[in-house]
Amino acid sequence: MQVGYDMTKTAAQRLFAKTGKKVEDVDVVELHDCFSANELITYEALGLCQPGEAAQFIDSGNNTYGGRVVVNPSGGLISKGHPLGATVSKAFELLKNEMENDTEKLVESVRGIFCLKVKNKDGKDGMWIINTKGGKGTITYNGTDKPDVTITINDEDITDLLTGKLNPQKAFFQGKLKIQGNMGLALKLTELQKKAGNRIDTLRAKL
């Protein structure tokens, strides 16, 4: 049994066919490097090298700067932890950028510390701390700040929540998210979505 090889190979082939691109057009690769063997298998499944040649691909320096492609410039598993899906991390990254460029001072309307626990279908979760108590706020993966409110949501709904497609209050009553702690602070997210219409549209367009 090869771990995810067939699925990854099929997905890559479909992507190249749909976009009209070739593996030679790829310059940067982000992959799940949970185990060394998994990384080697993925190189071959993506078509970066021929089956059985992953070790040679690495030894020749073709998986890093100056080589054929750059793999995991983000830092991979050591930096990001186990992924819940690329879009989730990307959504928080874009939200952080929007907060840093908050010329309308929207962050000031939701001062507090939010903990967002995001669960996937396998029950694994990731945690992001959004601290808006000072300045333009910060977002930290697995942060240690004590939250005023904790919101638990699945990875299929978190992007919709962050980009305004999912109303927090409706999501709560639909059972799509759970809230522990300061309920009033959590519901301020609904007000923020209304005030930040244009910025949310920009965030959504980047995903």
The pLDDT of 100-110, averaged and rounded, is 82
Give domain 83-205's CATH superfamily: SCP2 sterol-binding domain (3.30.1050.10)
The pLDDT assigned to 122 comes to 73
The number of beta carbons lying within 10 Å of the beta carbon of residue 172 is 18
Give the angle subtended at the CA of 158 by the CAs of 154 and 164, to the nearest 5°: 145
Whether 3 has a pLDDT exceeding 60, the answer reads no
Categorize the per-residue pLDDT at 1 as very low, low, confident or very high, splitting at 50, 70 and 90. Answer: very low
Q: What is the pLDDT of residues 152-195, one digit of tens each?
A: 998 878 878 877 788 888 888 999 999 999 988 888 877 666 66
The pLDDT assigned to 152 comes to 93
d(CA 127, CA 117) in angstroms, rounded, equals 5
pTM of the model: 0.56
Whether 25 has a pLDDT exceeding 90, the answer reads yes
Question: Looking at per-residue confidence, does 200 or 188 come out higher?
Answer: 188
Q: Which letter, b or e, does each residue of 148-162 get, where b requires 16 or more Cβ atoms within 10 Å of its Cβ?
A: bbbbbbebebbbbbb
3-state helix, strand, coil in the chain (%, to 5): 45, 15, 40
Identify whether the C-beta of residue 155 lies closer than 8 Å to the C-beta of residue 91: no
Residue extents of the structural domains in the chain = 5-71, 83-205
